[in-house]
């Protein structure tokens, strides 16, 4: 296919089935109030997102429809909406029997499994606030989050429970262990025994739309990870973006590759499909091109939501592999989390014969905000246009809107249904995002073109995005200086063709330590063991001294300039 043909395929094919046939019309006529009418609570006043995701479909006669198609290396199971309703009822009763009530924080720390999804929705059914954690987290990362949120219970596995430092977590009363075959330890309970004893009839906790539902910890440029709180009201946006962006249709098989430890894995791995009554695929285990293509082939996946690093890795193994699998079921492909290179979009057209639709949003926004829609032409490299009901703009540092093609702060006019409602224990951090009324300031820089498409340019702050994972340089630096050899550390994101960015650490050693390959490995492992593998620097460079301000802050911008061979700019605040 020559380039001209490719560009033509970027123009959408309209289908009568699709319900966002004209973006402009939808954008100008849209009202969130109209979406509320889709939910029973607009009539009964009784709200719980978990009811809308599972029970409602059973009440409407769809109980036998498949909700979850789960598989990993050892298991292959499917669950209907009725079965998920029963399981989550039971788990709700389990929590109630432990005295857990509305507003309590329940964490989930385990690999993807049907039990994870059961615990997630079951907790929300009784009004608890769920905090999902990546299985990759090591002790420090787990401890920070459980301490900050004062979690009362955690659902985990025999292997992962070793990373929960009970002695330092007095508020954590219950450790519910899935699949424990040995002895139960202090504060531990068996998930299976509790579930067996629990009734499958549950009185759902009806909550307020503004009551807390989930807590996702994410990184900023300073301080420890922050707990971003989302409320039940977010369901409006999860539901409607599921329709118009994911283009979910009743008979679809949908696969979101994200782990629920990341907001994409809850908003679009659970809520969007289930609020729409759509069958969702969950594949456990590690990424491998064969495994992923097989997952699409075997489940006949129609809608596939993944991330740029994954697409780049699939691209890197070559085009031939795609011909070994039957990918003809794919109708719609989407991406989120990092800039989606124009090159990847073109490659997607060539090998899948599909456009990859980029979507932009953040943990803090709770749901998709700027997207490419099936009914709209794609400009490769652009994130697309704001979702109906959302007003996005580029503003200067005073909050004034800037004209097209001018780079500035990507901002969103407040509020919107899935907007975060709090940073746990940190109102000041929360207020910082909203300092330029009426805007929410994203921390991303971008520009808008004359057609209203947004183009991502980078982060305004030092936050690193490696393979779509948000990593705060301060957290990594704090861990590094805990190592006995490290006197000072400065951490930056270094551009990388596959991962977007990789983490690079500049380190000044303490007296008596010499740079060596062995020390580099040791320091990398130190971060891996303490935090998580993805937070460990892939590159370490030793320097006698690091650039600092007179107040002692490491000047990451100077490190970055060193790395990229660019001018270091204004150094007037640097110490001698």
Residues lying near ligand WTA in the complex (CB under 6 A) are found at: 218, 263-264, 336-340, 358-363, 383, 442-444, 456, 459, 465, 470
CA dist 49 to 46, 205, 412, 483, Å? 10, 10, 25, 44
Shortest CB 365 distance to ligand WTA, Å = 8
Residue 372 CB contacts under 8 Å (≥ 6 apart), including other chains = 355, 357, 358, 359, 378, 382, 383, 384, 385
Q: Which is nearer to ligand WTA, 392 or 507 (CB)?
A: 392
Shortest CB 218 distance to ligand WTA, Å = 5
- What are the structure tokens assigned to 387, written together? 């979702």
Shortest CB 356 distance to ligand WTA, Å = 11
Q: Which is nearer to ligand WTA, 252 or 358 (CB)?
A: 358
Q: Would you say 279 and 254 are in contact if contact means Cβ atoms under 8 Å apart?
A: yes
Residue 13 CB contacts under 8 Å (≥ 6 apart), including other chains = none
Residue whose beta carbon is closest to ligand WTA: 363
Strands 332-336 and 356-360: parallel
d(CA 197, CA 71): 26
Q: Which is nearer to ligand WTA, 508 or 533 (CB)?
A: 533
Q: Which is nearer to ligand WTA, 413 or 529 (CB)?
A: 413
Q: Which is nearer to ligand WTA, 115 or 148 (CB)?
A: 148
Q: Which is nearer to ligand WTA, 273 or 337 (CB)?
A: 337
Shortest CB 413 distance to ligand WTA, Å = 17
Shortest CB 243 distance to ligand WTA, Å = 19
Residue 434 φ then ψ, to 5°: -110, 20
d(CA 67, CA 57): 10
Q: Which is nearer to ligand WTA, 40 or 457 (CB)?
A: 457
Residue pointed to by tokens 């989606």: 340
Shortest CB 266 distance to ligand WTA, Å = 11
3-state secondary structure 176-225: EECCCCCCCCCCEEEHHHHHHHCCCCCCCCCECCCCEEEEEEECCCCCCC
Task: Using alpha carbons only, give the angle 151, 153, 157 rounded to the nearest 5 degrees.
Answer: 120
Beta bridge partners of 50: none
d(CA 306, CA 158): 29
Shortest CB 305 distance to ligand WTA, Å = 11
Q: Which is nearer to ligand WTA, 256 or 330 (CB)?
A: 256
Shortest CB 286 distance to ligand WTA, Å = 20
d(CA 212, CA 127): 8
Shortest CB 34 distance to ligand WTA, Å = 26
d(CA 441, CA 414): 10
* 24 three-class SS: helix
Shortest CB 383 distance to ligand WTA, Å = 5
Q: Which is nearer to ligand WTA, 81 or 254 (CB)?
A: 254
Q: Which is nearer to ligand WTA, 52 or 469 (CB)?
A: 469
Q: Which is nearer to ligand WTA, 276 or 382 (CB)?
A: 382
Q: Which is nearer to ligand WTA, 308 or 547 (CB)?
A: 308
d(CA 66, CA 51): 17
Shortest CB 149 distance to ligand WTA, Å = 18
Q: Which of 358, 370, 331 is nearest to 23 (CA)?
A: 370
Shortest CB 360 distance to ligand WTA, Å = 4
Beta bridge partners of 504: 492, 539
Strand ranges of the sheet holding 408-413, from the earlier edge strand across to the other edge? 392-395, 408-413, 439-448, 454-459
Write out the DSSP string of 90-109.
Answer: HHHHHHHHTT--TT-EEEEE
Q: Would you say 521 and 129 are in contact if contact means Cβ atoms under 8 Å apart?
A: no
Q: Which is nearer to ligand WTA, 380 or 547 (CB)?
A: 380
Q: Which is nearer to ligand WTA, 379 or 470 (CB)?
A: 470
Shortest CB 415 distance to ligand WTA, Å = 18
Q: Which of 121, 209, 127 is nearest to 415 (CA)?
A: 209
Shortest CB 338 distance to ligand WTA, Å = 5
Q: Which of 166, 163, 194 is nearest to 178 (CA)?
A: 194
Q: Would you say 503 and 489 are in contact if contact means Cβ atoms under 8 Å apart?
A: no
């Amino acid at each position: 296919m020559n380039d001209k043909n490719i560009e033509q395929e970027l123009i959408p094919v309209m289908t009568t089935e699709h319900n966002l046939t004209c973006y402009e019309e939808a954008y100008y006529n849209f009202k969130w109030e109209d979406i509320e009418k889709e939910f029973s609570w607009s009539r009964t006043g009784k709200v719980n997102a978990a009811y809308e995701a599972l029970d409602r479909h059973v009440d409407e006669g769809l109980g036998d429809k498949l909700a979850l198609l789960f598989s990993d290396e050892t298991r292959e199971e499917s669950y209907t909406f009725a079965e998920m309703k029963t399981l989550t009822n039971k788990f709700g009763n389990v929590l109630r029997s432990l005295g857990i009530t509305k507003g309590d924080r329940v964490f989930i720390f385990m690999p993807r499994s049907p039990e994870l999804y059961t615990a997630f929705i079951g907790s929300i059914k009784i009004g608890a606030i769920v905090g999902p954690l990546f299985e990759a987290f090591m002790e420090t990362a787990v401890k920070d989050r459980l301490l900050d949120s004062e979690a009362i219970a955690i659902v985990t596995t025999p292997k992962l429970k070793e990373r929960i430092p009970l002695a330092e977590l007095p508020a954590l009363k219950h450790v519910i262990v899935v699949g424990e075959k040995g002895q139960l330890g202090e504060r531990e309970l068996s998930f299976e025994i509790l579930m067996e004893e629990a009734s499958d009839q549950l009185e759902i906790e009806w909550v307020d739309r503004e009551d807390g539902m989930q807590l996702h910890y994410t990184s900023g440029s300073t301080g420890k990870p922050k707990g971003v709180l989302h409320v039940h009201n977010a369901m409006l946006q999860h539901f409607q973006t599921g329709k118009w962006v994911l283009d979910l249709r009743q008979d679809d098989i949908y696969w979101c590759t994200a782990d629920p430890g990341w907001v994409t894995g809850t908003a679009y791995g659970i809520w969007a499909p289930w609020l729409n009554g759509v069958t969702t695929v969950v594949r456990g285990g590690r990424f491998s091109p064969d495994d992923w293509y097989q997952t699409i082939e075997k489940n006949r996946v129609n809608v596939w939501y993944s991330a740029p690093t994954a697409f780049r890795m699939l691209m890197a193994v070559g085009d031939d592999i795609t011909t070994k699998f039957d990918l003809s079921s794919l109708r719609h492909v989407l991406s989120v989390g990092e800039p989606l290179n124009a090159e990847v979009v073109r490659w997607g057209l060539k090998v899948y014969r599909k456009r990859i639709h980029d979507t932009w949003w953040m943990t803090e926004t709770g749901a998709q905000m700027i997207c490419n829609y099936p009914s709209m032409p794609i400009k490769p490299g652009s994130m697309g246009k704001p979702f109906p009901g959302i007003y996005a703009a580029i503003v200067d540092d005073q909050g004034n809107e800037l004209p097209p093609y001018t780079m500035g702060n990507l901002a969103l006019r407040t509020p919107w249904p899935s907007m975060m409602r709090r940073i746990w224990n940190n109102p000041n951090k929360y207020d910082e995002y909203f300092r330029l009324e009426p805007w929410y300031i994203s921390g991303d820089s971008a520009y808008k073109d004359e057609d209203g498409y947004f183009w991502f340019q980078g982060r305004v702050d030092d936050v690193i995005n490696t393979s779509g994972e948000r990593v705060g340089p301060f957290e990594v630096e704090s861990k590094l200086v805990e190592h006995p050899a490290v006197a000072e550390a400065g951490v930056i994101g270094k551009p990388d063709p596959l991962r977007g960015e990789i983490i690079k650490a500049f380190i000044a050693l303490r007296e008596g330590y010499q740079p060596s390959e062995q020390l580099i490995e040791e320091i990398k492992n130190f971060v891996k063991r303490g935090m998580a593998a993805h937070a460990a620097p892939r590159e370490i460079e030793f320097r006698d001294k690091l650039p600092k301000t007179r107040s002692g802050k490491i000047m990451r911008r100077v490190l970055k300039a060193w790395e990229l061979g660019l001018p270091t700019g204004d150094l007037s605040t640097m110490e001698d």
